[in-house]
Structure 1
Amino acid sequence: MNLAKTALSSALVLALAGCGGSDDDNTAKTGQFSLGVSDSPALATNVTIAFDRVVLKGSSESYTFDVTEEGELKQVNLLDYQGQEVETLVSGQEVPVGEYQMCIYMKNDTTGADDTSFVIAEEAMKGLISNSQGSCGNADSEDQAVKEEGRIFLNKKFPIAVGDNRFVAEFNLAKLQPPKGNKDYWVLKPTDVVRIENVSDVGTISGSVDSRITADCLVEAGDDADNRSAVYLYRAGATLDGSENAAKMADFRDAPYTTLETAPIASARVDEEGKFEFGFVVASDYALGYTCVAQKDDPVADDMNGEEASFFLFDAIDNVVVEENSTTEVAFGSN
């Protein structure tokens, strides 16, 4: 892995391990930078991103990390890294302590070629692009490759300090926009899809869905053979139906939410054994909603309101407390 002091490139999911000199020595303090990828799964069977490089943009200098393997793009199928699983992109690279922004550069592709970035859904392979392009804070504005690649610009600053500083960039793939109209490819909007979390501040939610809950939900849904189960994560206080004192659990959408609705933070697939997991959840209080019609949640449209509403949440759990470096166990249908 090559390190160059240049204008930024980009990064996807990250883990940081920091170290540095003592306060009474004269050496520059540094932290070791490591980067990996993880996701919140979409309903596709394969979401592969071809990574080229990662860039950290500091206040005075930027650091570029080549993540290619023997000159070839590093392809990662994010669906192989769900829950707490992480694929490392950068490992053990020293950078000065301080605040940084990060950019991740990926190979955009609109054709569905299997050697770049692509999505497989309903047995159809389509290309995948980031709708953001360009430099990372103008640091690499003259780099032609940067101008042509997709950019994932994580502009929220985060610190690299002395000691352990492990971060993860999570992809909420449920927010990927599917092919539409004359755009026969998938679109990743970085501001909607990717978030960075400090691993030292996060925990895990691990849970199950009783088969009776799923069966009852399918009856209400019409028992479509294509129905797929998922669990949605919300801030504490969200409820299935909402009230004057509690916001209603809503779907993913680009359309605006009302003041009586709350947007989901992430979603997790329920596997064939009724199990699900959210990894890298910031320590706080949450609520969960279960659905058996996840395939009907269009990431752009409002699918819960109006005459054509097709998506619903069937069951909920509140008072889900997540603590740092621990796993919270929950179960739908435990009573």
Structure 2
Amino acid sequence: MQIQFWRLVLLLSWSSWRRTVLLITSAALVACDNGSITLSVTDTPADEVSRVVVQFSAVEFEDSGGDWERVELKPELQVDLLALRGGDSKVLIADESIPSGSYRRIRFVIDADSNGSESYVDRTNGGRIALEPDGGEDARPTVDFRFSLDDGDDVALTVDFDLRRGLIEPDDFSDPYRLRNALRVVDDEFSGRVRGTVSAALLSNACEPALYVFDGEDADVGDIGADNEPLTSVGLVAQNGSSGLSYSIGFLEAGDYTIAFTCDAEGDDPEDDDELSFRRERNFEIEEGEETILDIN
């Protein structure tokens, strides 16, 4: 009887241990059925404004089945997009766990009110004006971008809010600025940047300079709003001790591009097809994780 009793104890102990192992293994499998995503925002700067502040409260990801995965930002995050120039970015969500799978769209929940206390624009000539997404305070800027997230994987994406294309000036001072869907997404792992200078010989007294970037070599160049509009564009900044100007453009996917210089940037209305004169066009290549130096002479 005593031997049978201890056999029973051992059998029960083995059974309990096996159940424990199964529970731990199951929990580990469930925990790994997610991937990790980091999402940042950057900006292609706009003209005639000194700050463009957007208050983000959530980011949503649409999977291939049409369901949305929502990531709340707590607390809400106010970002001055205009400060994110030259390849700088601001992290909205870091290493956030979301279900693994295929995704096809990203959208942003932005807080906006009529008095500009949440999202707003400061003009260089003074005055603060409310900012809201195009379509009203409850609209959500959305961009198509397909990516897959396997179990345990992590991905880092950056969304470019191209303010030169997307920031719409109000017709009346009492109306808000509008932020339309001029968004571009790049996977950080497969991106690089280009930087360089523009010679003073290309600048005239009436020059409002900017550089426009187009997909592919020897691309057909056009203004913002045209059928062949640029992938992105950037203004130029003065160099210390030089009469030329410098530029830096980050988060470009690896590949071939055309860059074009214009002095007519101020007259480029994103809602119209304008006639721009481009003074120089150059081809360049972006490699993953690399910086390309390209001077425009």
Fold in common (TM above 0.5): yes
Q: Secondary structure at the match of 2:82?
A: helix
How has the CA–CA distance of structure 1 residues 299 and 61 changed in structure 2, closer, same or farther, with 3 Å as cutoff?
A: closer
* Equivalent residue number for residue 185 of structure 2: 196
Report the CA distance between 1:66 and its aligned residue. Answer: 2.1
Contact 2:38–2:95 (8 Å) recurs in 1: yes
Residue identity (%): 22
Structure number with greater Rg is 2
Please give the TM-score of this superposition, normalised by the length of structure 2.
0.79
Report the CA distance between 1:267 and its aligned residue. Answer: 0.6
Contact 2:237–2:246 (8 Å) recurs in 1: yes
Contact 1:107–1:150 (8 Å) recurs in 2: no
Contact 2:36–2:153 (8 Å) recurs in 1: no
1:289-304 pair list within 5 angstroms: 289-304=260-275
* Equivalent residue number for residue 117 of structure 1: 119
Aligned residue identity for 1:315:
R
CA-based RMSD: 2.3
1:51 corresponds to 2:17: no
Q: 1:149 aligns with which of 124, 132, 138?
A: 138
Report the CA distance between 1:132 and its aligned residue. Answer: 4.2
How has the CA–CA distance of structure 1 residues 83 and 99 changed in structure 2, closer, same or farther, with 3 Å as cutoff?
A: farther
Cα distance in 1 for residues equivalent to 2:229 and 2:174: 27
Cα distance in 1 for residues equivalent to 2:158 and 2:292: 19
Report the CA distance between 1:39 and its aligned residue. Answer: 1.0
Between 1:166-175 and 1:229-238, the stretch displaced more is 229-238
* Equivalent residue number for residue 229 of structure 1: 209
Q: 1:87 aligns with which of 86, 90, 93?
A: 90
Report the CA distance between 1:60 and its aligned residue. Answer: 7.8
Aligned residue identity for 2:224:
F
1:26-37 pair list within 5 angstroms: 26-27=29-30, 28-37=32-41
Cα distance in 2 for residues equivalent to 1:301 and 1:60: 33
The unaligned stretches of length 5 or more in structure 1 are 1-24, 134-147, 240-246, 305-310
Could you list the runs of 4 or more consecutive aligned residues of structure 1 that deviate by over 4 angstroms after TM superposition? none
Aligned residue identity for 1:300:
E
Query: Could you give the per-residue CA deviations for residues 230-261 of structure 1, whole angstroms, max 9, x where no partner exists?
Result: 1110123446xxxxxxx3x21102xx53xxxx
1:1-335 pair list within 5 angstroms: 26-27=29-30, 28-43=32-47, 44-58=49-63, 59=65, 62-69=68-75, 73-100=76-103, 101-111=105-115, 113=116, 115-123=117-125, 124-132=127-135, 149-161=138-150, 162-175=152-165, 176-180=167-171, 184-190=175-181, 193-214=182-203, 218=204, 223-224=205-206, 227-238=207-218, 247=220, 249-253=221-225, 257=227, 262-273=228-239, 274-304=245-275, 311-318=276-283, 320-333=284-297
Please give the TM-score of this superposition, normalised by the length of structure 1.
0.70
* Equivalent residue number for residue 6 of structure 2: none
Cα distance in 1 for residues equivalent to 2:264 and 2:184: 25
- Structure (1/2) with the larger helix percentage: 2
Between 1:324-333 and 1:161-170, the stretch displaced more is 161-170
Cα distance in 1 for residues equivalent to 2:176 and 2:277: 27
Report the CA distance between 1:182 and its aligned residue. Answer: 8.3
Cα distance in 1 for residues equivalent to 2:73 and 2:58: 5
Between 1:73-82 and 1:55-64, the stretch displaced more is 55-64
Contact 1:51–1:68 (8 Å) recurs in 2: no
Q: Secondary structure at the match of 1:325?
A: coil
Query: Could you give the per-residue CA deviations for residues 136-156 of structure 1, whole angstroms, max 9, x where no partner exists?
Result: xxxxxxxxxxxx533122344
